[in-house]
Amino acid sequence: MPAARSRWSSQAFITVAGVVLLAACSGGPSGTSPGGTASPPGSASPSGLGLSFSWPDGPKPVVTRTLAGIDASFVNPGAVIEHLGTLHMFANVFSAWPGHVDVPHLTSTDGVTWKLAEATPSLTSEDVPFAQPGADVSTGFVTEDGTWVLIFESVNAVARWEIGRATAPSPDGPWTVDPAPILTGGSAGSWDAGGLAWPSVVRTDGGYLMYFTGLDMPRGKGAIGLATSPDGVTWTKHEGPVLVADQAWELQKLDRPRVAVTPRGLVMVYAGGRLTDRGVAWSNDGVTWQKAGDAPTITRADFPISGNAWDAALLYRDGELTYFLEIGADSTTGTNVYRAVSSVP
């Protein structure tokens, strides 16, 4: 783990407990695209739910700190939003953790070749009044009225982490940050009393689903929670976690959920307590999840370079999942963003 960076660890339709999930190809979070009626993931065996990720670019990163135009040590993919055929990445670039974070805006048509859309960052953590001292963009979407939304977690050194929102009339801004968090941890003794982080939003025809990491205490054990919203503004947490650590490789902690809608159902790629290990789970109702076996889908041995892994973004497009993963070694070599892909079985 880098010395300066100790970190916590179209339309696709799916029937969900009487609700129909809709991920529109225009403005759907995590880059959804047209698909068919989903088959219930729970009807297949765990082995049939597995994904096989490859690294088509080899050791060449798709996004670097140099490309982002900021002299810093680390870059992660932040939010990746597909809109009208263009991919928009709102990356996070920084040198200290917790610390100041810049959020540059990059665009791509294929997820491989990216270019900087603006000379200056779209946002910085200094724009967030409850950042103590940082804020890290984690997911985003475009609403039906054309409003662009970025969802982030505060990166606080002492206070528990919280989830916030920024909005803009276009991907180029100007961005307005809500003055208060949209979601906070639970009361003392609850499963998420230690704070919330790493949100991932899926759009539905009845509103939005947000998956996040909840901690029982700051830097404690983590599980994956769910919150729902009719408008992307006001959120209500589901009672209790929807996915917990129950496999040996997860080391009693789940972290960094990344969710996308596919014709087969909702898919989640998540980290265990060792952030180099990533697992896969599927759901056809958004609440009940089935893990793809008892071993991680991605491990350090699979990486295209030697190093550790941190933050990620997940994109479904044309029958393929793309997983953008931050990989690097230390504060000297820094991190960059690499691309893994898997077809959806």
pLDDT in the model for residue 331: 66
Structure token digits, residue 289:
């999840």
pLDDT in the model for residue 291: 98
Name residues whose C-beta falls within 8 Å of residue 268's C-beta, 6 or more positions apart in sequence. 200, 211, 224, 243, 257, 258, 259, 280, 281, 282, 283, 289
pLDDT in the model for residue 60: 98
Which pTM value belongs to this model? Answer: 0.89
Domains of the chain, residue spans: 11-343
What kind of fold does domain 11-343 have according to CATH? Answer: Tachylectin-2; Chain A (2.115.10)
Dihedral angle over CA of 59, 62, 64, 67, nearest 10: 140
Q: Long-range pairs for 338-341 at CB < 8 Å and ≥24 separation?
A: 338/55, 338/57, 338/61, 338/62, 338/303, 338/304, 338/305, 339/55, 339/56, 339/57, 339/62, 339/111, 339/112, 340/53, 340/54, 340/55, 340/298, 340/302, 341/53, 341/54, 341/56
pLDDT in the model for residue 324: 99
Question: What string of pLDDT tens digits covers the 345 residues of the chain?
Answer: 344 454 444 223 333 443 334 433 333 433 332 222 233 333 333 557 899 999 999 999 999 999 999 999 999 999 999 999 999 999 999 999 999 999 999 999 999 999 999 999 999 999 999 999 999 999 999 999 999 999 999 999 999 999 999 999 999 999 999 999 999 999 999 999 999 999 999 997 778 999 999 999 987 889 999 999 999 999 999 999 999 999 999 999 999 999 999 999 999 999 999 999 999 999 999 999 999 999 999 999 999 999 999 999 999 999 999 999 999 987 678 999 999 999 998
